[in-house]
Structure 1
Amino acid sequence: MKKLLLLLITTFTLSCCNNDDDKPIAEIDKLPPATQTGANTAGCLVNGVAFLPKGYFTTGNLICYYIDGKDFTLGIRESIIQGGNENIRTILISSFNQNLHDNVGIIFPLKDYGANSKSGEYVINAVASPDPGYYSSNSIVTGEFKITYHNYNSAILSGTFWFDAINSNGEIVKVREGRFDMHY
């Protein structure tokens, strides 16, 4: 009888335990927090799935350039092995010929790639247009980019972005909840 009572108590105790490890993590909760400290973090959701820097690249899986106070590029790369093949996906945010340090808090539209423009791109396996693995914003399929913090003396840029991008087959990728906090 004592063994049966002990078994019942043990079963009851174990069934009452809160096992947080079994709860799935929401995709947005996988993204880094939106900080402004130069944490060298970035991420976004691509079609609702967390997209974070992952894998080894000689140039890095997270890059940020701000050249001559006018040309800005943020690149987030993710390498995933699927079926023995490596798939490299890249998010690129570009802003050309714009003094971002004078425009903290201003929302810029992401449209076509080119001189004096701001654009968003999603690229699979480093291809270019018209390959169907190349998606980009344009004058119709757009997005937004915003610098939320800039410390020129410490070379820190933080911001947010979202965009839709279209490929040559007319397929659209939705990039949402983008954030970055980078040294350049």
Structure 2
Amino acid sequence: MKKLITLLLLTIVAGCSNEDSNSNPESLLPEITHTGANTFGCLIDGKLFIPRDGTGTWSGNDPGLSYLGGYPEGAYNEIDIRDYKSEKTTRMLIHLHNLYQIGVADYIINESNGMSNVDGLNHTYLHCKVFNKSTNSYQYYRSFENSGTIKITRYDFTNGIVSGTFSCRVKNSSNPEDIIEITNGRFDINGYTLPNIVFP
């Protein structure tokens, strides 16, 4: 009987610890690293957002995390993050302007027009698609002038590594009074090895 009570207590404690970690989404974020570990995470209005691959189509899997550069060389780099697995999916795009020329520095997050690559604006911006419970629909949120900072902590062009942290506020495209916070952002990407990484 004593063993049974001990076993029940251990089960309850383990269950509580699990719930505690789930009630603290910050604890589920990847570590801040600068090694090209191919990680990304942030909190969107306090909720965890990390990349998760989709099942894909006939042409291959849908990647949870993509990184690309644009013409002319070094004019911009974009980090495209998607959560394909959650019931209410989320997508974010980070557009870094002149990363190749500037390198390690603080980048001010400015206005987004909701577009990407050559259709986007010629400065650093961020936008995302998030499910809004109050409207029971997906809403598009865009950065605005001086709405946050991306701190690039490592930029190694030769080895394809870019690492940094970020935080900002974004406005609902259809309701400018609706502003959400993106906090505790971090990424550590190796553009050469990223295509081989699985985000479960």
Gapped runs of 5+ residues in structure 1? 1-6, 126-130
After superposition, the Cα gap between the structure-2 partners of 1:51 and 1:75, relative to the gap in structure 1 and judged at 3 Å, is same
One of 164, 170, 173 as aligned partner of 1:165 = 170
CA change 1:133–1:28 in 2 (3 A) is same
Equivalent position of 1:128 in the other structure? none
In structure 2, the residue matched to 1:48 is: 46
TM-score w.r.t. length of structure 1: 0.77
Identity of aligned residues (%): 27
8 Å Cα contact 2:129/2:138 also seen in 1: no
Residue 134 of structure 1 deviates from its aligned partner by 1.1
CA contact (8 A) 2:110 2:123 kept: yes
The equivalent of 2:183 in structure 1 is: 176
1:131-182 Cα distance to aligned partner (Å, 9 max, x none): 9711001126x11111111121111111111111101212112111111111
The residue identity in structure 2 corresponding to 1:177 is: N
Q: Report the CA distance between 1:60 and its aligned residue.
A: 1.0
Alignment of structure 1 residues 72-83 onto 2, 5 Å:
72-80=77-85, 82=87
- Alignment-mate amino acid for residue 146 of structure 1: K
| Alpha-carbon distance change, 43 to 177 in structure 1, aligned in 2, over 3 angstroms | same
DSSP 3-state at the match of 1:112: coil
Q: Residue type matched to 2:92 in 1?
A: I
> Which one-letter code corresponds to 1:75 in the other structure?
D
Give yes or no for contact 1:132–1:169 (8 Å, CA) kept in 2. Answer: no
The within-5 A match list for 1:10-159 is 10=3, 13-14=6-7, 17=10, 19-23=13-17, 24-25=20-21, 26-56=24-54, 57=56, 58-67=61-70, 68-80=73-85, 82=87, 87-96=88-97, 98-100=98-100, 102-104=102-104, 106-113=105-112, 114-124=120-130, 133-139=139-145, 142-159=147-164
Q: C-alpha separation between the residues in 2 aligned to 1:99 and 1:90?
A: 22
> CA distance change for structure 1 residues 12 and 123 in 2, over 3 Å: closer, same or farther?
closer
Unaligned runs of 5+ in 2: 113-119, 132-136, 192-200
Shift of 1:70: 2.9
CA contact 1:91–1:122 (8 Å) conserved in 2: yes
Number of aligned residue pairs: 165
1:40, distance to aligned residue in structure 2 (A):
1.2
Computed over aligned residues only, the root mean square deviation of the Cα atoms, in angstroms, reads: 2.5
Q: Structure 2-normalised TM-score?
A: 0.72
